[in-house]
Structure 1
Amino acid sequence: MSALNEQKKQRPRFLDLTVIRLPLAGYASILHRVSGAGLFLMLPLLIWLLELSLSATPDSLALFEKITGSVLVRLVLLGLIWAFLHHFCMGLRILLIDIHVGVEKQQARSSAMAVMVVSLSLTLAFGLKLFGVY
């Protein structure tokens, strides 16, 4: 019983998140949750913009162009593009892990890196299109 009490005494009372070193898969997992929350919270804006873009009236199209012409709105949309792409890629990774594909340490590290690289690369490509580079 005393060994159990000693073990309890050695445990930290709080977690200092600035000291903990997470593996890349841990950061990818946290970003998966953040991106999901961001997508959920911004859903009303996205639905409203979709409604404006699909409306047949010239006034709604003009309002849509005015809103999406703002640099601030485009930056928000770029963040939402990243959130969707990261959430999608990480969701595929999690589905593969659920069927026991890529559960070894090196495979998990590689798949987490692939999620980061693919989602950021696609975000860059869509972002360039969003800002009218091509």
Structure 2
Amino acid sequence: MNHSRPKNLNLFTIHFPIPAIVSILHRVSGAFLFLLIPVALWGLEYSLTVSGFDDLQRLLGSPWVKIIFWLLFIPFCFHLVAGVRHLLSDIHIGDTLKLGRSMAWATFVIFGLFVILAGIWIW
């Protein structure tokens, strides 16, 4: 058997379909959220003290910290919306190619709305 087929190993030349991009970003955002668990637990532990709660409240009032908090909240928004899309596909909603693409684009649109609403909510 001759296995001399050309192989394209350059990931930047491969064009993924939009549902695949949503799925990959869902995994990446989940990994990022997993890495944020220690930070969230530290903030919870620190806020349970009297002086720590006041310190965190004062710290979260800073505009720079609000921007950082908003940037860290963005993966949560995407993971939430893409997770709902994956749950819908588990119950066979969006199994067709056309509806799958539409739901993938809708995921990005709803994610964008959530990011804007999160920014408004933080400020």
> For structure 1, which runs of at least 5 residues remain unmatched after alignment?
none
Local SS of the residue matching 1:31 = helix
Aligned-partner Cα distance in 2 for 1:70–1:43:
22
Is 1:90 aligned to residue 85 of structure 2? no
Residue of structure 1 in register with 2:5 after alignment: 10
Aligned-partner Cα distance in 2 for 1:129–1:92:
22
Shift of 1:72: 4.5
The answer on whether the counterparts of 1:35 and 1:86 sit within 8 Å (CA) in structure 2 is yes
Aligned-partner Cα distance in 2 for 1:84–1:124:
13
Q: Which runs of 4+ in 1 moved over 3 A?
A: 69-73
Residue of structure 1 in register with 2:32 after alignment: 38
Shift of 1:48: 2.1
Residue of structure 2 in register with 1:106 after alignment: 98
Shift of 1:68: 2.1
Residue of structure 2 in register with 1:47 after alignment: 41
Read off the aligned partner of 1:36 and give its amino acid letter.
G
TM-score, normalising length: structure 1: 0.79
Deviation digits for residues 84-125 of structure 1 (CA, Å, limit 9, x no counterpart): 121111111112212222111110111111111111211111
Structure-2 change in CA distance of 1:75 and 1:37 (3 Å): farther
Residue of structure 1 in register with 2:13 after alignment: 19
Shift of 1:69: 3.5
Shift of 1:70: 4.2
Aligned-partner Cα distance in 2 for 1:104–1:84:
27
User: Which deviates the most, 62-71 or 106-115?
Assistant: 62-71
Paired residues, what number? 123
Shift of 1:40: 0.5
Is 1:65 aligned to residue 57 of structure 2? yes
Q: Between Structure 1 and Structure 2, whose CA radius of gyration is higher? A: 1
Identity of aligned residues (%): 35
Read off the aligned partner of 1:77 and give its amino acid letter.
F
Aligned-partner Cα distance in 1 for 2:28–2:63:
23
Deviation digits for residues 51-79 of structure 1 (CA, Å, limit 9, x no counterpart): 344x251x112320243234443333223
TM-score, normalising length: structure 2: 0.85
